[in-house]
Amino acid sequence: MEAFTTLTGIAAPIDIPNVDTNQICPTEFNKVPVGDPFYPKILFHYLRFNADGTEIPEFILNKEPFRNAKIIVADRNWGGGSSRESAVYAIMSFGARAVIASSFGDIHYNNCLQNGVLPVKLKQEEVVKLRQQLHENPGAELTIDLEYQTVRGPDNHVYKFDVNPVSKRCLLNGLDAVARTQEFQSDIDSFKKKHHESAAFLDQPGAE
């Protein structure tokens, strides 16, 4: 996983609440392999492109300077619904590395952390204010500092956010999740022994 330390970049306001993962990556694109040249077009495909593949110019991500957004500022309940990780790959392939919202779907939140995309929870009034500033100053940049857990707004106002300590450490160091777990291999082995002895019916499908 690519490390995440600080990120400064253009932020695009997405004013839609309850953006489910089906809107982020329409289901038909779940089968596209990662790295496919089509991938950058998947994010918000039905809002960005007509059925014939032409761009819908009114959609914010099709407008300059938001085509180069590195940060998405959304509303509440971003990323609910399907567990598809393709939604995260779509965000990354577009070029964004962070999403700021007032709440997230649990599975998508974890999927973001697994891929080095930072999900930032701010208060609802804060995301509303940030989006308003971004609309008023198109191309304004935000700076996210994971170490200090801060977002610096276009007006230099600094917002604090919470992130759980383990995820923070993994992101800062670009730590591989499997490598981290394998440090606990002896704990896993002794758990398995105990689990099997106490409940073979759990451990062994169809145990007799």
Partner 1 sequence: MASSKTMFEKIWDQHVITQEEDETLLYVDRCLIHEGSRHTFDRLEREGRTIAEPDKVFSFSDHYVPTDPKIRDAGVDAIPDEKIRGMVKLLAKNSTDSNIHFYGIDDPKQGILHVAGPELGVSIPGILLVGADSHTSTHGALGNISFGAGASEIFHIMVTQTIWQRKPKTMRITVDGELGFGVHAKDVILAIIAKIGHGGGAGHALEYAGSAFRNMTMEQRMTVSNMSIEAGGRAGLIAPDETTFEYVEGREFAPKGKQWDAAVANWKTLPSDDDAVFDTEVSLDAADIAPTVTWGTNPETAVPITAHVPSPNDAPSADKKAEIEDMLEYMELKPGMAVADIPIDKVFIGSCTNSRIEDLRAAAEVAKHGKAKIPAWIVPGSVSIKNQAEAEGLDKIFEQSGFEWRAPGCSLCTALNGDKLQPGERSASTSNRNFKGRQGRGGRTHLVSPAMAAAAAIKGTLTDVRTILRGDA
Min. distance of Cβ 5 from partner 1 in angstroms?
Answer: 20
Strand locations in the chain, DSSP E?
6-13, 71-73, 98-101, 118-121, 141-145, 150-152, 158-160
Task: Name the residue nearer to partner 1 (CB basis): 157 or 194.
Answer: 194
Pull the structure tokens for residue 15.
């004013």
Min. distance of Cβ 200 from partner 1 in angstroms?
Answer: 6
CB atoms within 10 A of CB 93: 21
Q: Sign (positive/negative) of CA torsion 101, 105, 107, 108?
A: negative
Task: Name the residue nearer to partner 1 (CB basis): 10 or 91.
Answer: 91
Q: Can you tell me whether residue 144 is helix, strand or coil?
A: strand
Q: What is the spatial distance between Cα 108 and Cα 113, in angstroms, rounded to a whole number?
A: 9
Residues lying near partner 1 in the complex (CB under 8 A): 16-18, 20, 22-23, 26-28, 30-31, 33-34, 46, 51, 76-77, 80-86, 88-89, 103-108, 110-111, 114-115, 164-166, 177-178, 181-182, 184, 187-188, 191-192, 195, 199-208
Min. distance of Cβ 8 from partner 1 in angstroms?
Answer: 26
Task: Name the residue nearer to partner 1 (CB basis): 10 or 61.
Answer: 61
Min. distance of Cβ 13 from partner 1 in angstroms?
Answer: 14
Task: Name the residue nearer to partner 1 (CB basis): 152 or 168.
Answer: 168
Q: How far, in Å, are 27, 58, 90, 117 from residue 97 at the CA level?
A: 22, 23, 11, 5
